[in-house]
Amino acid sequence: MALWARQASRWCHLLKAACAAEFRGRLRGCSSTAQACHGFAPRALLPSPNDVLPWRLQAYRHVSVGSCSPRDSAKDGSFSSPESNLPLPVKQEQTKPETLPDLNEKTLYEDWDDIPPSSALEEISEEEAVQIIAEPLLPLHSSTLRDYVDHSETLAKLVHLGVDLSQVEKRQKAGQLLLTLDFEKDIRKILLFLKDVGVEDNQLGPFLTKNPYILGEDLEALETRVAYLKSKKFGKAEIAQMVSRAPYLLLFSVERLDNRLGFFKNELGLSVKKTKDLVIRLPRLLTGKLEPVKENLQVCQIELGFQRNEIQQIVFKTPKILTASKKRLKQTFDYLHNIMGIPHHMLTRFPQVFNSKLLRIKERHMFLTFLGRAQYDPAQPSYISLDQLVTLPDEVFCTEIAKASIQDFEKFLKTL
């Protein structure tokens, strides 16, 4: 309806222009005759209903405004025809068909771009109203990123990449960060950087799930941190392994990374090479808190009674002991040393026993004691190493170490 209103306005404008042009032409044709007759006024021309227009609008209407002898006309109450008072050439000129502008549909549509936009207050029909497609409103507040995925190209692409938004939103201010980033402008360059560092394509999603904050880091700062690790003689494959296993590593500044490496070197008395090997095997030592590490070192030295050189060997062989639970560490040591009778130097040789579950150690030791085969002294026959005690599968342990069947082991466990 609004469109047809604008079309009608356009047509009226063109008709007025055509009428004005026709009026000026006829006025010039009557100028010579007007000089010969006093009191004669030019004929005014208005649109007539007889002219051809498809929409039946009035185009021209002839109106007589007087004659050369108005008194004679008034005698019989009639007006003489204007054509009778005009010379013959003028009459012929008036009978010529008039040419009007072509107002066909093609001409009108050519200037539609010039039509001003409709007002927001303009009424529209129901048919036009139902064709309006409104974009869904963006939630102002939400406790989950899922509500924003349909509105954010960045979130949609991250989901396609394998990022678990349900885990990301649990991290402080991580969801707000992702909503402020543009994928092409902010995120793509970080992804290319991670791939260049050595993070595999199928690991990008899990990596960003654990550390979405890297997407807000300055690219130049990230490159500087990688350059620092290379200056410390870390190879490209080693850096890739460290970054993949410790996603927060590249959030640490060069100064903090340098301080962390110096801490482990000085506290443990390790060489540069051994310090580097230590953090390659457990890179989260560089990103975790140092207080638990200091406490475990004190526990090993003061409560468990290990010497400094023994602690160096234990930590170098089993770095996880630095981040293990102090309670679990003391319980395991107590059972191995005080119940099983394993001396410190044997525990130093097989420190991986501290990574095993205490229940597993107890069950196997008690089964060997029941069979009379619990012998852990390498100087005695039928010696059983701590490594064999805790690392072998149950079937292998029973057949090769305990010299019994797995069924016997399972029946024994039911008696406990």
- Give the tens place of pLDDT for each residue, 37-91: 444 344 443 444 444 444 444 444 444 334 434 344 434 444 344 444 444 444 4
Give the rounded distance of the alpha carbon of 296 from its chain centre: 42
Residue 10: its pLDDT value, please? 57
Question: Residue 263 and residue 290: Cα distance in Å, rounded?
Answer: 9
Cβ–Cβ < 8 Å for 149, 156: yes
Question: From its phi and psi, is residue 111 left (phi > 0), alpha (psi between -120 and 50) or beta?
Answer: alpha
The 3-state DSSP composition of the chain as helix, strand, coil percent (nearest 5) reads: 65, 0, 35
Tokens matching residue 289: 């808190």
Give the mean pLDDT of the chain.
Answer: 78
Question: Residue 201 and residue 36: Cα distance in Å, rounded?
Answer: 100
Give me the residue spans of the domains in the chain: 143-216, 233-288
- The more confidently predicted of residues 273 and 53 is 273
Cβ–Cβ < 8 Å for 230, 184: no
Residue 206's contacts (CB-CB under 8 Å, 6 or more residues apart) are: 162, 164
Q: pLDDT, tens digit, for every residue of 288-344?
A: 999 999 999 999 999 999 999 999 999 999 999 999 999 999 999 999 999 999 999
Neighbours of 203 (CB within 10 A): 17
With 0-12 / 13-18 / 19 or more C-beta atoms within 10 angstroms meaning exposed / middle / buried, residue 370 is middle
Percent of the chain with pLDDT over 90: 57
Q: How confident is the model at residue 175 (pLDDT cuts 50, 70, 90)?
A: confident
Q: Is the pTM of this model over 0.85?
A: no
Q: Which residue has the tokens 């870390």?
A: 234
Question: Residue 60 and residue 145: Cα distance in Å, rounded?
Answer: 69
DSSP of 5-37: HHHHHHHHHHHHHHHHHHHHHHHHHHHHHHHTS
Q: How confident is the model at residue 279 (pLDDT cuts 50, 70, 90)?
A: very high
Question: Residue 371 and residue 400: Cα distance in Å, rounded?
Answer: 13
Give the rounded distance of the alpha carbon of 202 from its chain centre: 18
Cβ–Cβ < 8 Å for 350, 315: no
Cβ–Cβ < 8 Å for 179, 139: no
The top-scoring range by mean pLDDT among 95-104, 113-122, 134-143, 208-217 is 208-217
Residue 133: its pLDDT value, please? 61
Give the rounded distance of the alpha carbon of 291 from its chain centre: 37
